[in-house]
Structure 1
Amino acid sequence: MEGGIKRLAGFRKSVEGLEHQLHDLLELERSEVTPKLGNLEQAELTVLMAYTTASLCFMGLKAEGLNAAKHPVMSELNRVQKYMVKVKKTAEKLRVDRDSRKSKVDVEAAKRIIEHNTEPAVPQ
């Protein structure tokens, strides 16, 4: 019985910590937030909210002493985790693409610009 009380207290502490971390987001209407985000950020937010909701449900089942591993919420958690991986891979690919575009310099074009914008050296 004492172990169950400790687990319940741990569950409560976890939920309170989660509420604290998500407080600002929970205070806003989703319709206020999403138009200000890009597509990737919207996907990240959607996946985060889905995972948070399913995780809270999972923790609630565990706190009640039910076998959460056999509950349909477990398949939902697995499904959302797959989407989290997809979103993460997309974010990494976009970052790599952006970084590679920044690092490429057209040397010939740079030479032409420099020659065009500088006066030729005049010997004295």
Structure 2
Amino acid sequence: MAEDINAEEYPTEIHDYLTTFEKSLTSVDEMLKTMMSVSRSELLQKLEPLEQAKLDLVSAYTLNSMFWVYLATQGINPKEHPVKQELERIRTYMNKVKEIADKKKASKLDKGAASRFVRNALWEPNPENGQTPAKAKKRKMN
């Protein structure tokens, strides 16, 4: 794209920006082709519900972001267009999904281990007979 345009038609300062933009467009095109090569129903069957929600949100966000760029190229201020509210709404749901994923990853409390830890931390040795916790347990078990 950038190579096809004569260098005299645009300022040379933006050549690097145009080259980067072209590479980005090519990358987006390749990702879309990959994503479109698999049917949506096949893709969703392979994913867990949380992953399905992430896929839907990313797809919606990407589509709305591309529309944002389209509006900007048409000279329309996207900040004053309803697409801005839609992007904010999607971001809100993305944050909710992230919170759910974080809660899912959070470690669970092992109540048995916690009670043993507290019980052993509160144990006081009997100074009269010099018992240690290990000796006291053996004696109780016998």
TM-score by length of 2: 0.60
The counterpart of 1:47, out of the listed 53, 57, 76, is: 57
Considering fraction of residues, name the structure with more helix. 1
- The answer for the alignment partner of 1:33 in structure 2 is 43
1:17 aligns with 2:47: no
Shift of 1:100: 2.5
**C-alpha separation in 1, matches of 2:87 and 2:23:** 21
- The answer for the alignment partner of 1:100 in structure 2 is 108
Distance verdict in 2 for CA 1:13–1:47, change over 3 Å: same
Shift of 1:64: 1.6
Identity in percent: 34
| Paired residue secondary structure (2:41) | helix
Give the letter for the 2:108 counterpart: S
Q: Deviations over 1:33-70 (max 9, x none)?
A: 10111111011001010101100100111112211111
Instruction: Confirm or deny: 8 A CA contact 1:11 1:59 kept in the other structure.
Output: no
- What is the RMSD of the two structures over their aligned residues, measured on CA atoms? 2.6
Q: Which has the higher contact order (CA 8 A, sep 6+)?
A: 1
**C-alpha separation in 1, matches of 2:90 and 2:24:** 20
Give the letter for the 2:100 counterpart: T
Give the unaligned 5+ runs of structure 1.
Answer: 108-124
- The answer for the alignment partner of 2:69 in structure 1 is 59
TM-score by length of 1: 0.67
**C-alpha separation in 1, matches of 2:77 and 2:112:** 61
Runs of 4+ with deviation above 3 angstroms: 8-15, 104-107
Is the deviation greater in 11-20 or in 71-80? Answer: 11-20
Report which of the two structures shows the higher radius of gyration computed on alpha carbons: 2
Distance verdict in 2 for CA 1:65–1:11, change over 3 Å: farther
